[in-house]
Amino acid sequence: MEEILSVKNLKKYFTKGGFMRQKETVRAVDGVSLSIKKGQTLVLAGESGSGKTTMARLILGAVEPDSGEIIFDNTEINTDTSSLKKIRKECQMIHQDPYASIDPRMKVFDIVREPLDIHGIGRPSERREMVFDALRDVKINPDDVASKYPHMLSGGQRQRVVIARSIATKPKMVIADEPVSMLDVSVRVGVLELIKELQNKHGISFLYITHDLSTARYVGHFISILYLGKIVEVGNIGDVLLQPKHPYTQALMDSISEPNPNNLHSEKKIRINSPLDIDVYHGCRFRARCPYAIEKCKQEPSLEQVGNQRSVACFVEIN
């Protein structure tokens, strides 16, 4: 199957401190490669500070990479204006917090219409119908909601408006950064279902960024686990989550609490150590917290293929 997005060896370092303090380099994204097939969803999972959001910003050209290559729909994305225009039109974004990502002074209709105006899609007379179509696609009745302001909507409805805005331009890909983490449990599933439905209907590819592996399993096809700027495990989402091969993936799985009456009297075991005070950029980055660390881990493991579309960066075989 053809790829919509292919990222190769992407790097972005940030420097903090400086004035009156020692400069410190943060390797936010350090040699990340990933690819998304047309019409599929790749989950990019990791804790805060793992570089997930920086990845999204790099892909959309909001920050410039130090090195590496981004190929979107057979076009290389660099600082060239035409490539930036292409990706910003054909790759849209759903942000985490629907209370912050839409302008409270704009009506729903104008919010969804804005990207059409910016990218000059359709004749102005056609845009009204395009906005209404997008709203219908996200299961919002345009006649009721189009003339409302965001404060008149619930969290779930707001997030649907954000999704309508992201699909109004008929993008080939959508980056969704924790799209349900701010929503109530009972409306989450509705939004996840909507994402799947839009994918089937319009063939949109998704990059789904999250730390919540149980919702990830529901929408994703493939998953990449990110730890401190490096991908530690990649594969088919069912394989990776049910049989993790990297100790970090295993710890993430251990940490999930699912509603299960047996939890009450069983001890919660997370296979992770409290961090050692060592240089995380020397050798395997997870070494400081890894319960399986061996001498060899002072060298840096590379991402090796271990099976069908499955790669892992670890010297130890944990199962």
Partner 1 sequence: MVTLFVRDLRVQYGSGDNAVNAVDGVSFSLEDNESIGIVGESACGKSTLGLAIVRSIPGGRVISGDILLDSKSILNVSEEEFTGNIRWKKIAMVFQGAMNSLDPVFTIKQQFEEILQVHGYSGDRIKTINDAVDAVGLPVSVLDKFPHEISGGMKQRAVIAMALLLRPKLVIADEPTTALDVLVQAQIISLLKKMKKEGMSLVLISHDLGIVSEISDKVAIMYAGKIVEFGTMQEVYSNPKHPYTQALLKSTPKIKGGLDLISLKGNPPSLASPPAGCRFYDRCPEAKERCETEPPVTKTKTGYVSCWLYEESK
Binding partner 1 (rule: CB under 8 A), the pick from 261, 277, 302, 319 is 261
Least gap, CB of 158 to partner 1 (angstroms): 11
Binding partner 1 (rule: CB under 8 A), the pick from 255, 273, 306, 316 is 255
Of residues 267-296, those binding partner 1 (CB under 8 A): 267-268, 270, 272
Q: Point out which span in 7-15, 104-112, 148-156, 200-208 binds partner 1 (CB under 8 A).
A: 148-156
22 binds partner 1 per the rule CB under 8 A: no
Those residues with Cβ within 8 angstroms of residue 68's Cβ, 6 or more apart along the chain or in another chain? 7, 8, 9, 10, 11, 31, 32
Least gap, CB of 225 to partner 1 (angstroms): 12
20 binds partner 1 per the rule CB under 8 A: no
Beta carbon nearer to partner 1, 88 or 245: 245
48 binds partner 1 per the rule CB under 8 A: yes
Structure tokens at 290: 């890894």
How many residues sit close enough to partner 1 to count as binding (CB under 8 A)?
Answer: 41
Torsion sign, CA atoms 155, 156, 157, 163 = positive
Beta carbon nearer to partner 1, 188 or 285: 188
Whether residue 130 contacts residue 171, with contact meaning beta carbons closer than 8 Å, is answered with: no
Residue 118: strand, helix, or coil: helix
Chain position carrying tokens 């991402």: 303
Least gap, CB of 156 to partner 1 (angstroms): 7
213 binds partner 1 per the rule CB under 8 A: yes
Chain position carrying tokens 């709203």: 135
319 binds partner 1 per the rule CB under 8 A: no
197 binds partner 1 per the rule CB under 8 A: no
d(CA 256, CA 213): 8
Chain position carrying tokens 């493991």: 301
47 binds partner 1 per the rule CB under 8 A: yes
Tell me the pairing of strands 304-307 and 310-312: antiparallel
Those residues with Cβ within 8 angstroms of residue 143's Cβ, 6 or more apart along the chain or in another chain? none
170 binds partner 1 per the rule CB under 8 A: no
d(CA 201, CA 104): 30
Least gap, CB of 183 to partner 1 (angstroms): 9
Helix axis angle, 108-119 to 81-90, nearest 10°: 150
Contacts with partner 1, residue ranges (CB under 8 A)? 47-48, 154-157, 184-190, 192-193, 211-215, 217-218, 241-242, 251-261, 263-264, 267-268, 270, 272
